[in-house]
Structure 1
Amino acid sequence: MSEMNDKTADFGYRTVDAAEKPGLVRGVFTSVAARYDLMNDLMSGGVHRLWKASLIDELKPNSRMRLLDVAGGTGDVAFRFLDAGGGHVTVCDLTESMVAVGRDRAIDRGRLSGVDWTVGDAQALPIADAGVDAYTIAFGLRNVTDIDRALREARRVLKPGGLFLCLEFSRVVLPALDRLYDAYSFQVLPALGRWVAKDEESYRYLAESIRRFPDQQSLARRMQAVGFARVGCRNLSGGIAAIHRGRRL
């Protein structure tokens, strides 16, 4: 993995000015927002729903829990949290178009309470210190310019004892699966992006960003370095995705 320094960052396989990356990420998700959830179903064959169900199982929502769901613009995790008995969720996403999709879905579902929506950066969250019981980020951390800064922000907004959960694509741990997964990522995904979302390049970036993201052990070490305790990881689908967890003590 290529590490970001103070001036540059990875944008897929490209090296860009660090200040430029948030705008590029916004551009990707503005382009795909309207078909984002459909593409998730097509790309994963619906398996992302099982992964998110596992995330909610780890979270164990209850009526007193206040959740911050970062990079969750379309509301997929937020709605699952509420359906599982969660108390209140704030959805924060860098891209206004993604938040608009989520807000519209909430209105269509009659979800007029228990959820609020905000546009914000994972690296500088518009949330008070120790303001939430739990923090989730699903398939969003790899798009952040400075992962360590985002992890520090996650810890800052959690109450003592609060739970951090990151669901993210990771490193395949089954030898027979990794070559198939590479072929799928770099041939099928861009083609799906071209046919369905009319945007091949955004889905090529998303495939590349997965390869640039820290592996399971590296992310665990970075979580520990910013002060998370009880750090652990659970592989899903042979390591195609993983749930990382930690506690703010």
Structure 2
Amino acid sequence: MSESVSFGYEEVSPEEKTARVGEVFSNVAKKYDVMNDAMSVGMHRLWKDKFVRRVKPQPGEEILDMAGGTGDIAFRMEACGAKVTVSDINQDMLDVGIERAMERGIDTLVWSRQNAEELAFPSRTYDAYTIAFGIRNVTRIDKALAEAHRVLKFGGRFFCLEFSTTEWPGFKEVYDLYSHKLVPQIGKAIAHDADSYRYLIESIRRFPPMPEFEQMIRDAGFVRTRVEPILGGLVAIHSGWKI
């Protein structure tokens, strides 16, 4: 049988997933940050602040922010003095980030269109690798993790912020109802696109549970891995070291 991967609740070929995910993010790029505020009631800002505090970017450090198109994580790390390369497979998302950087007067970021599974950067280039709310949209997650490990220097650190599955009784059921029933309608009202947001919610449901994803990070070669659940695991910060 030919290889298949999940696109939301569908099983498709890897090539079709890559193409369809690209369409999703091209469709939502202009309204991506507005929708994040609407869907999370602004909490995504607090999650990202906490994430960057865990990364602890230092002045002069070389950091690769993968799937960071709109710049949310990069802007926070650049303010700490880090030298950040923002990479994304989707040019529309990068264009939004570049425009936002110009509006803020930030001209120190490097913007680079890259596929997380096949990075063009040399091995042992970066002090840290970050990816926020992007790993679940990668077609072959294991390849992306292997590439993250490759481009990190020895002693480099990996940090991933991603939705997971909350383990809080009661809250899980409420969130499932909200995400499946209301989020696509919010997407339709704000971004005029219910289908893209239906996929984004389905992709969360298909993402590996926290222990399984942590094992994938270990399998890629990282050590001293750690998982920090937020809201019982609705969101989680995963981390590891390359030694």
Specify the TM-score bucket, using the shorter chain as the normaliser: over 0.9
In the TM superposition, what are the counterparts of 1:1-249 in structure 2 within 5 Å? 7-83=3-79, 85-113=80-108, 115-249=109-243
Runs of 4+ in structure 1 off by over 6 angstroms are none
CA separation in 1, counterparts of 2:2 and 2:12?
11
**What runs of 5+ residues in structure 1 fail to find an aligned partner?**
none
For residues 81 and 181 of structure 2, the distance between their equivalents in structure 1, rounded to whole angstroms, comes to 39
Query: What amino acid does structure 2 have at the position aligned with 1:89?
Result: V
SS in 1 for 2:176: helix
Which secondary structure does the structure 2 equivalent of 1:19 belong to?
helix
TM-score, scaled relative to structure 1: 0.96
Contact 1:7–1:19 at 8 Å: present in 2 too?
no
CA apart distance, 1:126: 1.9
Q: Which runs of 5+ in 2 are unaligned?
A: none
The change in CA–CA distance for 1:123 and 1:96 in structure 2 (over 3 A counts) is same
SS in 2 for 1:73: coil
Task: Verify the 8 A CA contact 1:73 1:92 in the aligned structure 2.
Answer: yes
Q: 1:129-168, CA deviations, whole angstroms, 9 ceiling, x for partnerless residues? A: 0110000000000000111111000000000010100000
- Output the amino acid matched with 1:45: V
Q: Match of 1:123, SS?
A: coil
Aligned partner of 1:93: which letter?
D
The answer as to whether partners of 1:236 and 1:242 remain within 8 angstroms in 2 is: yes
Quote the RMSD (CA, aligned, Å). 1.0
Deviation at 1:125, TM superposition (A): 1.1
